[in-house]
Amino acid sequence: MKVIICTKYGSPEVLKIKEIETPVPRDNEILVKNFATSVSKADTRIRSFSVPLAFWIPGRLALGITKPKKNILGGELAGRIESVGKDVKNFKQGDEVFAATGMEFGTYAQYVCIPEDGVVAIKPANISFQQAAVIPIGARTALYYLRKANIKKGQKVLIYGASGSVGSYAVQIAKFLGAEVTAVCSSTNIDLVKNIGADKVIDYTDNDFSLGYNTYDVILEAVNKSSFLQCNKALKEEGVYINVAAAIKTLAMLWVSMTSKKKIIPAPPSEHTDYITKSEPLLFLKKLVEEGKISPLIDQEFGMEQIIEAHRYVDKGHKKGNVVIRMNTAAQ
């Protein structure tokens, strides 16, 4: 089978296509013929080793000294099960599934083995493999954070970075939960975020969303490009601030946490351990997709041989929703 290898840290040109043997599933694993995966920010950050200077040494120790230890990147996929291990009970050959592999990565490959009890579920019946492939990271992350915020019907929620992967799902899920959603994005994406359900849209290049003091019950920062002090001004006295790209609380966040009733939530661990089961969020999202409550947003699709071009595109930082990589041809 063909895989995409990250040969060292650097520009997109470090990605190379290579032939390796197709894996054989262990007793508790399924072997998936991978039809589609994505290029996420996690992939581009690891490829380029874009980490804060303070995390450079621990980052190299954790991820790899001169190149990623997990040199086949990619964290989500959609495909069809080719075979199953002898102990697998809940899946069978021919099932169409979508899945996330977390910090194991590995979805830049034409075939992927996944544990039966991993983050995997039968894909929504009403969407393509390409659409299903971009749900497990962005939508699951948005769902995790919005559940942490415990949104009530009628609450005012602001999504900063509403046109990206996490942000576009957050808009749709917050609307499903009954919130009044204000989206912050660039002028070029205003119509896009309106079309996915935002009640109000603020162009961050023209307007300061924090001018209305104590306006929002929840602020979700999806791209880590706003000022926390700005967000804090716009947050209600018992509001919730969430930053999906902040690994730890800054000093300002710590101070607000200690001196107010506001709840400050930085990024959770890579594994969302407070789900009932690992597959529970995917099953919930599958239901929302099949009911027409949320829809995956795809910006561009690339073939496997265009992986360098795809990473260059994501590196620019202007993608709308998700970028798909087609790994195999699927008869749909």
Instruction: Report pLDDT digits (tens) over 27-42.
Output: 999 999 999 999 999 9
pLDDT at 268: 58
Assess contact for 166 and 144: CB atoms under 8 A. no
Summarised one tens digit per residue, pLDDT across range 265-292 is 987 555 454 554 589 999 999 999 999 9
Least confident of 181-195, 241-255, 292-306: 241-255
DSSP 188-231: GGHHHHHHTT-SEEEETTT--GGGSTT-EEEEEESSS-S-HHHH
The mean pLDDT of the chain is 93
Distance CA 185, CA 175 (A): 17
Q: How far is Cα of residue 326 from the mean position of the Cα atoms in its chain?
A: 18
pLDDT at 332: 44
Summarised one tens digit per residue, pLDDT across range 318-328 is 899 999 999 98
pLDDT tops 60 at residue 331: no
Distance CA 212, CA 105 (A): 42
Distance CA 149, CA 83 (A): 40
Assess contact for 324 and 35: CB atoms under 8 A. no
Least confident of 31-35, 48-52, 158-162, 223-227: 48-52
pTM above 0.75, yes or no: yes
Distance CA 182, CA 40 (A): 24
Q: What is the DSSP letter of 304?
A: G
